[in-house]
A = this chain, B = another copy of it.
C-alpha cells in the first residue's frame, strides 16, 4: 500500500501533512473561523492558489481537520481505556469520560470544531462517521462487558420508547438490553453537555472546583446507565 512511491507522491503526502499541521496550529491559536487558507499558504512559503492543489476548498481542509480531531480524541479515549483495561466497568467508564474532558481542555478549538456548533453552512460528510464513533463504541463496549458479567442494572424505560431503543440496540449495540442503550445514548449526550459547559465558559463564576465536579457527575451518569457502583467478584 504505502510502498516507496515516486518522489512526487512522497512530496505530495508530505506537503499535505504540512498544510494540515500549519492549519491545525492556526486553528489552535485563533479558532476555526479565523483559519485562513492564505495565511496557511503564506506561512508555508507558497502562494495561496497552490494550496488548492491539495484541498479543493477551505471546507475540505476543515473536514480533514475534523476527522483528525475525532481520531485524536478517539485515540486519547482508547489509550486511557487501555490503561485500566482490567478494572471494573465503572472505573473504565470514568477513565474514558475523564480522557474526553482532558482532551477537550487540551484542544479546545478542535473540540469546538467537532462538538460545538457546526461551522455554519457546513455539514459534515459521511466520511467523518467512523472516526466520530470511536468514543461511543468504547462506552458501548464497557456497558456490554458489564452486562455480560452481570454488572448491569437495566434502567427504567417507558413503553413508548421501547421500539426505538430496540432499533438502536440492533443498529449499533447488539447484545445490549434496549433500556441500557437508550440510557447510554442520553448519557453520551449529557457527557458532552458537561464538557461543553466547562469548555465554553458557562461554568465561569459558578463551578470552581471543576475536576471533582466532573468526576462525580460522570459517576452518576454511569449509575444512570445501570453500571453498579461496586460490581461483584463473580465475574469469570
Q: Is the C-beta of A217 less than 8 angstroms from some C-beta in chain B? A: yes
Contact B186 A194 (CB under 8 A): yes
Q: Is the C-beta of A148 less than 8 angstroms from some C-beta in chain B? A: no
Known: A167-B208, A172-B206, A212-B161. A120 touches B189 (CB 8 A): no
Q: Is the C-beta of A53 less than 8 angstroms from some C-beta in chain B? A: no
Q: Is the C-beta of A3 less than 8 angstroms from some C-beta in chain B? A: no
A217: chain B residues within 8 A (beta carbon): 186, 189-190
A115: chain B residues within 8 A (beta carbon): 196, 200, 202
CB distance from A44 to the nearest CB of B (A): 22
Interface positions of A from 182 to 196, Cβ below 8 Å from B: 182-183, 185-186, 188-194, 196
A212: chain B residues within 8 A (beta carbon): 158, 160-161, 164
Determine the main DSSP class of A at the interface with B.
helix
Bound complex: CA A155 to CA B213 (Å):
14
- Copies of this protein in the assembly total 2
CB distance from A155 to the nearest CB of B (A): 8
Q: Is the C-beta of A91 less than 8 angstroms from some C-beta in chain B? A: no
CB distance from A40 to the nearest CB of B (A): 16
Contact A189 B194 (CB under 8 A): yes
Q: Is the C-beta of A8 less than 8 angstroms from some C-beta in chain B? A: no
Q: Is the C-beta of A231 less than 8 angstroms from some C-beta in chain B? A: no
CB distance from A67 to the nearest CB of B (A): 16
Contact A209 B164 (CB under 8 A): yes
A191: chain B residues within 8 A (beta carbon): 193
> Mind listing 9 A-B residue pairs with CB under 8 Å?
A31-B121, A33-B33, A115-B200, A158-B216, A161-B212, A185-B203, A186-B216, A189-B217, A190-B190
Residues of A in contact with B (beta carbons under 8 Å apart): 30-34, 109, 112-113, 115-121, 123-124, 129, 155-158, 160-161, 164, 167-168, 171-172, 182-183, 185-186, 188-194, 196-198, 200-203, 205-209, 212-213, 216-217, 220-221, 224
Question: 6 closest A-B pairs (Cβ-Cβ)?
Answer: A193-B193, A31-B120, A116-B117, A112-B117, A190-B190, A189-B197
